[in-house]
Structure 1
């Protein structure tokens, strides 16, 4: 394990996904007693419920608008992580507001429905509905710039982002110019080598992965629908370019790398970074470490390039860096 993460992991509160409601309550209590992070004062946060899912559910989104947003600015649709069973959009307020402020772009964070109360496809349909509404600039989304649209997320959020990209491609809606996939949770079959190699990984392990997929897909997890488990897709042609980050000491490592390389073989422009000896969710659990700082800098560069902003540091199509 990266030395910078040893103390973080030793003191990290244990997570459990067998009872998502209990874990959500634990997160809520933690947030109640911890002082919230300071947000950039230049970013306005709106709450929108104009997007309607396939079952007519009103999907809540948080919209982050920097003061210097231009008419032609791109937009990042962001999807939070949490194994498809925990997490809320406002938990990523600090992260989304920083992206909006530092890059002068609009960011939309989706508060999708969670399993097991709402198994697949509820959360997926919510994310599709918001992305489509962003593209149409309906409701409060009309205040966003008219530039390119990116989609991204972390862990299960990255899985949902990849699934939305597949759905939009299949529907002939070429509205996305890029995917930002941080340590994606995308293979419900749990068949990768890293799932066995790091079965007892810190932060998120193989048991957690199995339980989360069971909540989300039930018995379908062994033969999943493509939009539930993007790794199941046999056709990756025509997807938007991607930035993919994999955590080296993560049970999900190999599914992230495999998906990135398969996209590349399908002719998609892909930038892949594998960060050695760091746990799942490393940019969130320890954002000030060297690996996290490097990953977030790379991510910001990728958003700039994929969003059509000034290119800061050109990257090769595929870069696997096991330093």
Structure 2
């Protein structure tokens, strides 16, 4: 384990994915007991409930708007993690506000429905509805304050899985308005078929048992032969997807599925920037954002959003930037 993470991992409480309701209550109690993050002064946060999912459910979103937002700036749609069963949009306030402030763009964080109360496809449909409403200018006064430039989608863990799934469906429907994917340690293989699932079966933060339980909550009997939009690793055709920035955590049971998905996109002709950070646990950028590895990953994330959003001319980069960070 990376030395900067040893103390953090040793003191990190085990997560209760077997009982998502208990874990949500634990998170809520923790959040209520700590000071809220200090956010950049130039960011306004708005809550919007105007987007309707396919079954009529109103999807809540959080909008992060810089005071200097231009009419033609891009927008990042961000999807939080939590194994498809826990997590809320506001848990990523610090990250979303930083991206909005540093890049001068709007960020939309999606509070999608969670399993097991709302198994697949509820959360996926919520995320898809937000992205398509944004592209269509959604009819919301809040959304109308966002720029009309490129749309980038992204997330961490299950959020990355949902972002990848939305990108696949948009590709299948011939919709090309999403110009980039940000996939941090994606949770995308419901079959648990990659070697890292055994190599790091007892990994810190998130382990093989957690993964199995989360997929069971989300997919039930379908997890062994999943739909591609539920488990993007099941997709055989990755041609035509938008460019991607992919981060794999080296000491993570999900490491190999991230690497496999990135390499298969590359072979399909997709422009991919892949980074594998050695000896760091799952969720490392959120668990310990001030560590050296997290700072590098987040700095590169900002540059990827800048590039995918078309904020400036980017110098040509090799298809595979790095398989391992020194």
Give your verdict on TM over 0.5.
Answer: yes
| Equivalent residue number for residue 10 of structure 1 | 10
Alignment of 1:219-258 (within 5 A): 219-258=221-260
Q: Which moved more, 1:285-294 or 1:137-146?
A: 137-146
Indicate the SS of the match to 1:210: helix
Cα deviation for residue 315 of structure 1 reads: 3.5
Change (3 A) 1:49 1:172: same
Confirm or deny: 8 A CA contact 1:75 1:147 kept in the other structure. Answer: yes
Out of 258, 275, 278, the position equivalent to 1:276 is 278
Indicate the SS of the match to 1:115: coil
Indicate the SS of the match to 1:60: strand
| Mapped pair 1:123 → 2:140 | no
| Equivalent residue number for residue 75 of structure 1 | 75
TM-score normalised to structure 2 length? 0.97
Confirm or deny: 8 A CA contact 1:179 1:240 kept in the other structure. Answer: yes
Cα deviation for residue 9 of structure 1 reads: 0.5
| Equivalent residue number for residue 146 of structure 1 | 148
Alignment of 1:46-85 (within 5 A): 46-85=46-85
| Mapped pair 1:295 → 2:316 | no
Q: Distance in 2 between matches of 1:193 and 1:301?
A: 31
Indicate the SS of the match to 1:24: helix
Confirm or deny: 8 A CA contact 1:301 1:312 kept in the other structure. Answer: no
Cα deviation for residue 261 of structure 1 reads: 0.3
- Deviation per CA, 1:273-312: give whole Å up to 9, x if none: 0000000000000100000000001111111111111257
| Equivalent residue number for residue 166 of structure 1 | 168
Q: Distance in 1 between matches of 2:15 and 2:173?
A: 37
Confirm or deny: 8 A CA contact 1:52 1:59 kept in the other structure. Answer: yes
Cα deviation for residue 321 of structure 1 reads: 2.1
| Equivalent residue number for residue 135 of structure 2 | 135
Confirm or deny: 8 A CA contact 1:271 1:318 kept in the other structure. Answer: yes
**Number of residue pairs the alignment of both structures matches:** 323
TM-score normalised to structure 1 length? 0.98
Structure 2, unpaired ranges of 5+: none
Indicate the SS of the match to 2:319: coil
Indicate the SS of the match to 1:272: strand
Structure 1, unpaired ranges of 5+: none
Indicate the SS of the match to 2:293: helix
Q: Distance in 2 between matches of 1:312 and 1:69?
A: 21
